[in-house]
Amino acid sequence: MRKTPAFTLSLSAAFVALGSWGCARQAPVTPATRADAHAQTNAAPTPVWPGWEAVPDPGADPEQLECSMQGTGPIARLTRTPNQRVVAEVSTTRAVTREALPFDDIIGLPPDALGARQVLAVKGGALVALDAGEFGAGLFFVASSTHRAARLDRSDEPIRRIVALSFGIVGVSGLCHGDACPSKSGLFRIEPSSRGSWRIEPLQRLDGCPATVSVEPGNEALLVGSCDALRRISNSTVTLIAQWPSPLIPSAVEAAEENHTVAYYATFGRLVARFTEHEPATWFAPSACPRLVRRADGGCACATPSAEP
């Protein structure tokens, strides 16, 4: 089994009540030697993707930190290829995941529900997680026998994302909106009960709201990117993988095995950061806009030889 690095910054069918956190099965946190990304020397390698170039670590440059998250110009999007490589692409829009529902006549779950939608086929039907940000969220079970949607989670802590891992189904709660970064992320085990219904059990609390989540290759671990850190959650441990300056909020995280080591990638607006166990954190930006400058009106623009801050 591959060793996990602890590095750089190392139902009832209608409703389920969540037990107290004191009784939850807590995964131990793996100790990590913290070395914040912005404190590392950026010994930038050759860019790993066409159309991108290595740029200085933005941690010591408030202008780059603020402008990168302002949404000006192109944004970075990560894709994991069939051969498990991570590729960064330049995009002008943010994609919203809306997976197809298993039936057209679901009661209580309109096909045009706003926001992101995840659908996971399970025995007897499908689990559906909705995430419309501040406008709502929730986890539903849709029985194949009735085509009816029954809500499973608590309305005061809705589950927004679900992932299928090697050790079971995990749900994620928590909202990144406004000044929500100091809030927590909730992780839950979602399991079938002996009577054919579903139960939700608290698994772990994490610092920071869950800005983005993904599954590590092999489905052995969940990756959660929060306002200032990336964490890896396996069946038994939580490992702090990386940290970055708090103004940066990740929009995507991915992992891949490269040259016999695991590389973790995170996007922050137009920037991509790469973290590994034995190398300094490296940062990349689109070659067409490697640096932003502040305009006189407070906005940001791509720097050009004639650009004035």
For residue 68, the surrounding DSSP H or E stretch is helix 62-68
Q: What is the pLDDT of residue 178?
A: 67
Contact 283/56 with Cβ under 8 angstroms?
yes
Domains for the chain: give ranges and CATH numbers. Answer: 21-43+75-288 (2.130.10)
Q: State how far the Cα of 294 lies from the Cα of 301, in Å rounded to an integer.
A: 7
Give which of 203, 128, 209 is closest to 174, Cα–Cα: 209
Q: What is the pLDDT of residue 179?
A: 63
Locus of tokens 């995170």:
266
Structure tokens at 124: 């007897």
Find the radius of gyration of the CA atoms of the chain.
20
Render each residue's pLDDT in the chain as its tens digit; 309 residues: 444 443 333 333 333 333 333 333 344 444 343 334 443 334 444 457 888 999 999 988 888 888 887 765 678 889 888 888 899 988 877 667 888 888 877 887 877 778 889 999 999 899 999 998 888 899 999 988 888 889 999 888 999 999 999 999 999 999 987 666 778 899 999 999 877 689 999 999 999 899 999 999 999 999 999 988 999 999 989 999 999 987 788 999 999 988 888 999 999 988 999 999 888 899 999 988 888 888 888 888 888 755 444
Q: State how far the Cα of 168 lies from the Cα of 185, in Å rounded to an integer.
A: 18
Q: What is the pLDDT of residue 94?
A: 67
CA 10 to chain centre: 17
Q: State how far the Cα of 233 lies from the Cα of 219, in Å rounded to an integer.
A: 11
Q: Which residues pair with 118 in a beta bridge?
A: 129
Q: What is the pLDDT of residue 30?
A: 46
Pairing of strands 149-151, 137-143: antiparallel
Q: What is the pLDDT of residue 71?
A: 61
